[in-house]
Structure formats: C-alpha cells, structure tokens
Amino acid sequence: MKKLITLGCVALAIAATAVIYDESNFSAAGRMYQPAPEGHIVGKDNGPGSGLHHAGEDCARCHTMGGKAEAYQWTVAGTLYADRAGSEVLKGGEIILQDRDGNVISMTSNEVGNFWTLAPIASNPYAVSAHGSSMDILYVLDDHGTLMQPAPPDDGRTWQYKAWVKKGFSSRPMMTIAPAAGSSGMPMTCSMHHAVMGSRGALWVSPAPTLPSYPEADLSYRKHIYPILRSKCSPCHIPGSTMTRLVTKTDLDDPSTSFDFSKGLDLMTYEGSTVGVDVKRGIRSVVDTANPENSLVLRKTVPGAVHGGGAFWKEGAPDYLALRQWIGEGAKKN
Amino acid sequence: MSTRFVVAALIGFLVSGLVEIALGAPGKAGPSGPTSSVLCLNSLRGSLQGQCGIVLDVNGDGNEDLVIGAPYAQGPGTKGALLVYPGAPAGFPQRPSLLLEGEGNLGWSLASLGDLDGDGKGYFAAGAFSGSSDEASLAGTVTIYKGGVKPQKVAVLSGENALDKFGYSLAVGDLNGDGLPDLVVGAPFHSPSPALYQRGAVYVFFGDRTTILKKEALKIPATSAYGGIGFSLATGDINGDGKDDLLLQASGRVVAFHGAASFNPAVTGPNLVFTNADAGFGKSIAVLDDGNVAIGADQAGIAGVSDSGRLYIFNGAGNQLAKIDGEPNGGRFGSAILPVGPGLAVSAVHADGDPWPATGKIFLFNGSLTAGATVNSARVIAGEVRNMHLGSFLALVAQGPRLAAGAPTEDANTGKVRLFNLP
C-alpha cells in the first residue's frame, strides 16, 4: 500500500513538472504546484550597490518616487531570514521570480539578508489590481470579450510574477501571483508583508530543523510539535479566511478561480477552527497514528511531493522524525 | 619631532574629532557645543547593538551603569547578548566590561526593576523574543538578572506558545500599589483564540517580597474590541491616585487601565482610550512627570510626506493638550520618547542628519509641551552616519546629565550607542 501511495505521489509530481508554464496558466491556480525554475545562473540579477542597511524594513519607504533614496530604484527587494521568527538573517539564499513571459529572475541575499534587482518584469495585459475589498480591472474588453486595451504596461501593478525562495532543497513558493507595485502605484517589497514583526512573519527559507534537538520519545505537542507547525506551516494553514487574491483575468473567469490556499486545514489550532464561515480541520486530519509515515503532513512536505507550500525536510531529518514519533505516540495534544 | 609621531598625533586628532558629536543650537542641527562618546563592541558584527538600553547601578558601586541589548549577536550556540558598560565619575568605557550571552535573540528589550533587596545592585529584565524554556519552545522568554559585578540569572519567564514573541516589549510599574515593582511583558503574536489569531496578549507579573516576581502572570489577552496589543507598553500614574497605570498600544489606539489593589483589566476593561487616526499612533508611549501622556505616531504623514511622524500630549482625562508635527522628511518623529525632567526627548530614527540623509535625529524639548509647540523650539541632536537609526532607544544618565541613544543599524547592523551631554 505504501508503495502504491508513493508511486501515486511521484506520478502526480511528474504530472506537475510536465506542465508547460506560459501566459495561458499565469494565475495562482495555474501555478499552484509549479516547482522553482532551474537551469539558470543563481544570483544573475542581483542589483548594484552594497545594500547593507535597514535589513528587515520596508525598502519602499525610501526607495520610491519622492523618497530619500529615489535615485536608487529597483523592481523587487526585501530581506531573507533563516526562520519565520526572523531570529537570524540568511546569507546566500536564492529568491526566484518568473514573470508572464517566462523570464526567470534570480537574486541572492547578502550578509544582512537583503536582496534587490533592477531586472524588468513583464507586464501582464490581463492584470487586475485587488486590495482588500476593492478591485480594479486594469484592461478593457469589447462586447465579444476581445482585448481592446491591455493593462498599462508602465503601471507597476501589471508587473506580475510568481515567486520562490530557496536554500538547498528547501523551497518556499508564494501561493499567489504578486504585483511589483500596489494600488497606490508605490513599489512593493517582500518586507512590506513578510516582516520580522509582521503578521505573516519573516520571509524565510532554510532546511535547518526548527528546534536544536528533540527527545527520542515522549514528544510534547506544545513543546516540540506546535513550534514546527507554527514555524513551517503558517501563514498558509491558519484560522480564518485564506483565499488567494484575484490578480489576473483568469482569476475572474467564470467560475472565479480564487481558492483557499490552506485547503481547509488549520495547523495552528489542534482541534481545527471555526472563524466566521471558515471551518477548518486540525492536525488530526493529516496524521495516521497507525501508520505514521503514511501521514499526509509527512508525505506532502518532502522533496518531490505535490505541495503548494513546497518541501521542508527530507525523510530522516530531525523535524520529520519528531513529527513521525509524535504521531506514532498517538498525536496527542500534550 | 619624528614624522611617525606627527602622523600618529594627526591620526589621533582626527579620530577624536570623529567621535565628537555636538549638541546643536535650537532648531538647528550640526556640530557645536558639548561632546559625546561612542560605545560599541565592533567584533559583534551584525548584532544590532543599541536596539535597547537601560541605565541602572548594576554592580553596586554607586555609579550608574549602561546595559545594552544586542539581539542578533551570534556566538557558539548563542543568539543575542547584553553588553554591560560600568559607569564611573570619568564616564563610560568605549567597550563593555561584560558580555552576557543568551539565546532566542536576548537583548531585544530591557527594563530596570531597581534595587529590590537593598544591596545597592539593581535587578533588570531582558527580553528574548524567540527564546525557549522548559515550558515552551520558541515562545519568547524574559530573563530576570540580579545585579552584581557579574549579574546572575534568578528567573526565566516564558511565553505560552511558539512564535508568540513574548518579551517583545517590557515595562515596569507598581500597578497594584503594594510598593513592589511589577513587570509587564508584551507578546504581540500570541493567539488568544482562533478568531483572535496573532492579536496579542500582555502579561503582568506582580512583585513579590520573597520571589521578586510572582510566577503566575495576570494575562490581558487581546479582545475583538482591542487587538494588536503587546508591541508598545508604558506605565505611570495618569489619574493621580498614587498607583501606576498601564497603557498599551492597540491597533491605532492607546488603551489605559488604572492601577488598583485588585488590578485585573480583563475584568474591568479599559478606563480610558486615546484614539487618533494617525498611522503608527502608539508606537511610543510615555507618562510624564506631571501625569500627562506623550504618544508618538511615527508613521503620520506631514505635508504630504508619509512616515514623517507626529507627537501628541494628552492629560490623564484623555484631552489633547498639544500636537507637534515632525519634519516633513519621512523621519518617523515619535519613534521613541523619554521624559527628561519637565521636558521631553523625542527621536526620529529616519530623519536626515548633517550631511547625510536618514541618520536619525533627537529633539530635546525643555519644559512642558503646550499647544503651539513645534520641533523648531527643540534643541536638536543629528546623527552623522547614514542609516544609523539614531534614537532607537533613549535613556537618561543622571550623572552629567547625559542622554544615551541607540543606533543599532550603524555599520551594517553592528550598531553603536552614543552618549550626549545635556545642558
């Protein structure tokens, strides 16, 4: 049975990699399982200058029209950390972007974790700008649905990309298609939302274990397992609404393809949660106490698995073994 | 006189000139007047020295000492450190005499508890926002140190759940009026419930004559009415009843809970709410000697320039007494506030210095601030190094007197602390 399941996952993974990613599937749903591009020179698009200042802050505060650093513009920038808590900056992590035309942009983080690029990002003629409850369709169609006027190519909101951060085999994809500028036209940075002290936590990637060590037996949910889940599985598997934003015409097509990137799973609350209309199941729905290695929480988080959130650890890694042990001990809320 | 001697003398002159920072005339920045010192341990690269700092007599020699946080200091198996600079009549050494290493980004926050046992050595609390304890991993911790030549850990307080960032903020006050200092700890990413995911909590550890602080804390969780708590805290008596009150930033508001013998805000609810539409309102909060409240809104837009900052003064009944606009330069005026006698020191960590932009500035206001006060009436201390974040913390050294100010992002995030003579 285990072999069948493994083969099934591999088949799915192969199917995913066989997908051609082009403008026809440039949307959150179309790119949900896209693995990070490979075959390019890592860091080929690093921006000029040293950039050793204001690590972790929103770069767009100064590097914007009328700002203190107006003369030093970029298309995308941010700071990379080794963990979601932002306890340690990460040097040498890779930040990969791919735009609508398939161009791959690759940056690496410097000694204070900062990264930035001047590489142009293709404009999506079918871009939609959505922020909160407001939505602005930036293109114009005629009565037959033919494109009459593309979204303005000089509007930063149309510069859209799919993103990943990567360190070794550890890869964190972004679950949506992101714009380079916001609804106010201001340039956006990863740090705007993925700040150390922000709601989504730091932008992070690392194959390192969450805790320095784990006991071989008698693992505690609160002390050993919840830290793994909170560090690795948020901000996707959290309580409340987790729908992708509508940013392309494909997202708006009937039926709308905004989807719940948590897949109805709240790993921050042991029992699952009900917040408004968002009912989500908890950790027990993705563990198999009788056959721990068969647990979804393990099978979907290793390299080669089909998981929108990417790969976190290899079989045999400390976090993997801790989870497996805890599941085998009954997956208790202890 | 040999050439070598002349060259050495010239170098020495230039170096001493570089560390001289002057207090400018009112409304003007730039070098003139009294000198300052620069404190730093250069070997701790990228450590953010100066993220926080406190002044207290740690070693009991009768002189005030400086304890400085370096939350990103890396050592073998350690993450975060405290740098202790012993004070003396001649001043402070340029390098710390003691390095207390820790884990979990120790040194992100600091608070002085004072001399709790009468031996002349002060106790202090240090926050580590990603610290672990026997109770919870990565929840954040606060370590209580007893002063001495080498301060000793006497207790470790723990957050509840991983990534709560317990210890992000600290404040000390006597909230229940029993004569003992109480420690208030912010955990801004605690989730009281799924519906209040990451809305925060604040914990009050009441003073105890035997154990310094009670082991069990009074928890003030975020509510649907007041969330986003734990980032910014302050204590002080704003209603004149002799007991300290607790003030918290709560998503664009500042809520105040009056001190009481049976202090329990979760039951009583807030006694006063300061409301303002300015972005960042509550980033800094300070209770002044006269019981008025100073609140910084560091992201307020001024003359169309975002993140310039504004400072408000309220009385204890919540009435606004003064509003002071920062310079319209994205300087984040109101980043930190420190009562200095009857006046106030206010930092703007992104303000333009002389000659570099984005160095940070400190504005010194003499006397009470009233309606009509502007930054032009303040004496100004301007940073002299780009991107140094001057004024990330402010602390008063009574001997001098002098103002200590953190510059944690100077030199590729290594950080420094500067001391300025006050008039």
Is A87 in contact with B79 (Cβ distance < 8 A)? yes
Is A238 in contact with B329 (Cβ distance < 8 A)? no
Look up residue B418 and give its amino acid. R
Three-state secondary-structure class, residue A96: strand
Write the residue in B130, B137, B413 that is nearest to A55 by C-beta: B413
Model pTM score? 0.92
Taking only the tens place, the pLDDT of each residue in B269-297 is 899 999 999 999 999 999 999 999 999 99
* Predicted local confidence at residue B7, as pLDDT: 34
- Residues B154 and B145: beta-carbon distance below 8 Å: yes
- Residues B359 and B331: beta-carbon distance below 8 Å: no
A60 in reach of chain B (CB within 8 A) = no
Mutate to test the interface with B, among A211, A223, A262 (most CBs of B within 10 A): A223
B166 in reach of chain A (CB within 8 A) = no
Whether omega before A207 lies within 30 degrees of 0, making that bond cis, reads no
State how far the alpha carbon of A74 is from the alpha carbons of A48, A121, B216, in Å.
Answer: 10, 11, 50
CA distance, residue B283 to nearest chain A CA (Å)? 13
Is A66 in contact with B305 (Cβ distance < 8 A)? yes
A160 in reach of chain B (CB within 8 A) = no
B387 in reach of chain A (CB within 8 A) = yes
Is A68 in contact with B104 (Cβ distance < 8 A)? no
Is B194 in contact with A268 (Cβ distance < 8 A)? yes
Is B72 in contact with A239 (Cβ distance < 8 A)? no
Chain A residues in contact with B135 (beta carbon < 8 A): 223
Other CB atoms within a 10 A radius of the CB of residue B28 amount to 12
Distance of alpha carbon B266 from alpha carbon A93, whole angstroms: 44
A269 in reach of chain B (CB within 8 A) = yes
Other CB atoms within a 10 A radius of the CB of residue B38 amount to 15
* Predicted local confidence at residue A4, as pLDDT: 53
Nearest alpha-carbon partner for B137 in A211, A305, A114:
A211
Nearest alpha-carbon partner for A269 in B160, B197, B131:
B197
* Predicted local confidence at residue A9, as pLDDT: 53
Taking only the tens place, the pLDDT of each residue in B303-328 is 999 899 999 999 999 999 999 999 99
Write the residue in B197, B305, B358 that is nearest to A239 by C-beta: B197
B74 in reach of chain A (CB within 8 A) = yes
B130 in reach of chain A (CB within 8 A) = yes
Write the residue in A67, A222, A274 that is nearest to B136 by C-beta: A222
Mutate to test the interface with A, among B44, B166, B197 (most CBs of A within 10 A): B197
Write the residue in B161, B330, B352 that is nearest to A226 by C-beta: B161
**Spatial CB neighbours of A52, under 8 Å, sequence gap ≥ 6:** A110, A111, A112, A114, B412, B413
Mean pLDDT by 10 residues, chain B (423 residues): 34 33 34 63 96 98 97 94 96 95 98 95 98 96 97 97 98 97 98 97 96 95 96 98 97 96 89 96 96 97 94 96 94 96 94 86 89 89 91 95 95 94 86
**Spatial CB neighbours of A54, under 8 Å, sequence gap ≥ 6:** A62, B387, B409
CA distance, residue B389 to nearest chain A CA (Å)? 9
- For residue A284 the two structure tokens come to 């027990």
Nearest CA in chain B to A277: B195
* Predicted local confidence at residue B26, as pLDDT: 37
Distance of alpha carbon B335 from alpha carbon B333, whole angstroms: 6
Give the long-range contacts of residues B270-273, CB within 8 A, separation 24 or more. Answer: B270/B226, B271/B239, B271/B245, B272/B238, B272/B316, B272/B317, B272/B318, B273/B318
Nearest CA in chain A to B162: A227
Three-state secondary-structure class, residue A163: strand
Distance of alpha carbon B28 from alpha carbon B393, whole angstroms: 22
Three-state secondary-structure class, residue B258: coil
Distance of alpha carbon A230 from alpha carbon A31, whole angstroms: 25
Write the residue in B194, B305, B387 that is nearest to A275 by C-beta: B194
Write the residue in B130, B329, B386 that is nearest to A85 by C-beta: B130
Chain A residues in contact with B104 (beta carbon < 8 A): 87
- Residues B40 and B93: beta-carbon distance below 8 Å: no
From chain A residues 239-258, the ones with a CB under 8 A of any chain B CB are 239-240
Match 């003139």 to its residue by tokens: B32
Is B163 in contact with A268 (Cβ distance < 8 A)? no
* Paired sense of beta strands B182-187 and B201-205, if any: antiparallel
pLDDT tens string, chain A, 334 residues long: the values are 555 555 555 555 555 457 899 999 999 999 999 999 999 999 999 999 999 888 888 888 888 877 778 888 899 999 999 999 999 999 999 999 999 999 999 999 999 999 999 999 999 999 999 877 888 999 999 999 999 999 999 999 999 999 999 999 898 999 999 999 877 777 888 988 898 888 899 999 999 999 999 999 999 999 999 999 999 999 999 999 999 988 999 999 888 888 999 999 999 999 999 999 999 999 999 999 999 999 999 999 999 999 999 999 999 999 999 999 999 999 999 9
Write the residue in B137, B387, B412 that is nearest to A211 by C-beta: B137
Chain B residues in contact with A224 (beta carbon < 8 A): 137
Distance of alpha carbon B404 from alpha carbon B85, whole angstroms: 12
State how far the alpha carbon of B335 is from the alpha carbons of A211, A226, B257, B280, B389, in Å.
Answer: 34, 34, 23, 9, 10
CA distance, residue B19 to nearest chain A CA (Å)? 21
Other CB atoms within a 10 A radius of the CB of residue A97 amount to 24
Is B162 in contact with A67 (Cβ distance < 8 A)? no
CA distance, residue A272 to nearest chain B CA (Å)? 9
Chain A residues in contact with B231 (beta carbon < 8 A): 197
Chain B residues in contact with A85 (beta carbon < 8 A): 129-130, 138, 163, 165
